[in-house]
Amino acid sequence: MTRLARSDLDVFGLCLGGNVFGWTADEAQSFEVLDAYVAAGGNFIDSSDSYSAFAPGNQGGESETVLGNWFTARGNRADIVLATKVGRKPDRQGLTRANIRTAVAESLERLQSDYIDLYYAHADDPDTPLKETLQAFDELVKEGKVRQIAASNYSAPRLAEALEISDRDGLARYIALQPHYSLVERHHYEGELAELCVRENLACVPYWALARGFLTGKYRSGVEVDSPRAGAASKYLDDQRAVGVLEALDRIAEAHGVTVAAVALAWVRAQDGVAAPIASARNPQQLSEILPAATLELSDAELRELSNVSA
């Protein structure tokens, strides 16, 4: 288990992404994945009030609803570190105090829970003062509705400013950052953001750590994959650097007897500031392919090889 920054939240080394619940995985399939994840020792689940608004017929909140039904069916809410987000649901855009107050009440109702372990600002809201957002989050922490707060999709300057405001005014402080980060998309996190996370003791919990599925190794030239993400993942096949990353992953995965996806996630987990990468699974088979990433330790030589080929 890994401790998230200065908090008392101890989490599994692989965070289970809830974006597929209520989208490409119906409730029964989602329950199978969730049960298998917990059976393997997992306890860290990521969702959002906006999941999965982008799917036809959905409005957002579907993932939280599935999770709430699972918590109630299994009676295991206290065993899970649950992360969810506010600010990007189509009818709950932004980080004003009023929106956050309404959104958290709706999320808690869907989740059938009276608290959220880790509540993210889903994306920076330049139209709302950072202090207003932090004051709203601080209220939720004091009321016991939220245990800890975090930020997603923030630039280094804006995140640093938010931390300064919290420190200066005695408000709840972000303990984690959720950035876009993978072997083939390194620039979103490395540099200023990574340095800030390490310096300020923020836990990094990256999303799209498998590059929308490309780093599962299923996407190869001439191979058709039946997935809603196929178009986005296949674009990497036009990038010779990304293809080189896959070749290196193939070699290392074979040496360890694990999947390409597990190695790609293990590399992310080994980077400065990273607590646990996020990855999702539509069924237990997909989950079994990524679970080894939580404990897989790559050698220094393997880490260097992957870092060099992906640079």
Max intra-chain CA distance, the chain: 57
- Specify whether the CB–CB gap between 241 and 307 falls below 8 A: no
Q: Of 51, 189, 207, 219, which is the active-site residue?
A: 51
Is 306 strand, coil or helix? helix
CA distance 157 to 82: 27
CA-based nearest residue to 133, from 162, 104, 156, 108: 162
- Backbone dihedral angles phi then psi of residue 41, each to the nearest 5 degrees: 105, 0
- Backbone dihedral angles phi then psi of residue 168, each to the nearest 5 degrees: -70, -40
Q: Specify whether 174 is catalytic.
A: no
CA distance 242 to 211: 10
How many C-beta atoms lie closer than 10 Å to residue 187's C-beta?
Answer: 9
CA distance 15 to 81: 10
- Radius of gyration of the CA atoms of the chain, in A: 19
Q: Could you tell me the CA-to-CA distances from 179 to 52, 134, 182 in Å, in that order? A: 19, 19, 10
- What is the distance of C-alpha 231 from the center of its chain? 21
Please give the structure tokens belonging to residue 116: 């959220």
CA distance 192 to 94: 25
Q: How does strand 278-279 pair with strand 146-152?
A: unpaired
CA distance 198 to 211: 23
AA letter at 124: D
- Which residues are part of the catalytic machinery? 51
